[in-house]
Every structure is written in C-alpha cells, then in structure tokens.
Amino acid sequence: FAVFPPELVKIPIEAGCPEFVCSKCGKPREKIIKRTPINVRKHKLHKGKAKDAVDGKNPSYQVTGFARTGVQFEYESELMGYTDCGCGAGFKPGVVLDPFGGTNTTGRVARSLKRDWIAFDVSEEYYEI
C-alpha cells in the first residue's frame, strides 16, 4: 500500500479547497485580510552595483537598474472577515476530491480541516481497510 503522512496533504487542502462555499451558487468565501507594513527599513539605492554581485538577475535590478528598491518591510496580517456572494442561502464546507482514495489519509485530513470530501479507488483491496 502506498501510504503517506497526513502533513503531506494539509497545505494543499488549505491552499486549494475553500473553507466555505455558498450552498446555492457554489462561490467560495474569501478571507478579507488587512495587511499592515511593519519593520520598515530604508536603504540607499546603489545604481548598477548589484550587477556584479547577482549577475544582473535580481528582479529589482532588472526593472529599475537599482540593487534595492529603497524600502524593505514585512507585513502583519489581520483577518477582517469573509466575502459574501449575496445569495443569502448560507454556506457549507468546500469539497476535497481524492481519486486515489487508498487508506483515506486525504479524507481524514480534509475532515480535520472541516472540509467535506469524496474519495474513490479502483483497487478493491483498499475498501477492506
């Protein structure tokens, strides 16, 4: 049997399957995130100096001709809420499809992430597990 650790499918499920979809139109709810720059640091701009250091492949250098963009910062993210399609029909969990159900690792992870799931497999041996 080809089994895999649950951690292997956790990120793809979170990234590829919405938490909620409209029960009428099927549109997924999207997170509304407020991003605030923090730790802002200014840099001196060095025209052409990065070319030797990075062989001219720095995307910032390719676009601007400068080694740095001038400002560097990180983001702090805050969940503000979710979008609404306007149907007023309520929401249900997104659905994960696993066409190689096997030992149902994907289904167990989907359930733990509050998603619905559908799994099937051509091998009858897996149905006994």
Q: For residues 75 and 91, state if they share a domain.
A: no
Encode pLDDT of 43-54 as tens digits: 655 555 544 444
Total domains, the chain: 2
Q: For residues 125 and 114, state if they share a domain.
A: yes
CA gap 67, 28 in Å, rounded: 40
What would the mean pLDDT of 63-78 be, rounded to a whole number?
Answer: 66
Element (H, E) at 96: strand 95-98
Encode pLDDT of 4-30 as tens digits: 999 999 999 999 999 999 999 999 999
Q: For residues 93 and 125, state if they share a domain.
A: yes
Q: For residues 25 and 87, state if they share a domain.
A: yes
Q: For residues 70 and 38, state if they share a domain.
A: yes
Q: For residues 74 and 88, state if they share a domain.
A: no
Percent of the chain with pLDDT over 90: 53
Which alpha helices (DSSP H) does 6-101 contain, by range?
7-16, 50-54, 59-64
Q: For residues 90 and 119, state if they share a domain.
A: yes
Does the global pTM surpass 0.95?
Answer: no
Contacts of 15 (CB under 8 A, 6+ apart): none
Place of tokens 């730790």: 39
Q: For residues 73 and 35, state if they share a domain.
A: yes
Q: Between β-strands 95-98 and 116-119, what pairing exists: parallel, antiparallel or unpaired?
A: parallel
Q: Which domain holds residue 61?
A: 31-82
C-alpha neighbours within 13 Å on the C-beta side of residue 11? 3
Write the single-letter amino acid at 8: L
Q: For residues 66 and 36, state if they share a domain.
A: yes
Q: For residues 24 and 38, state if they share a domain.
A: no
Residue 62 pLDDT? 55
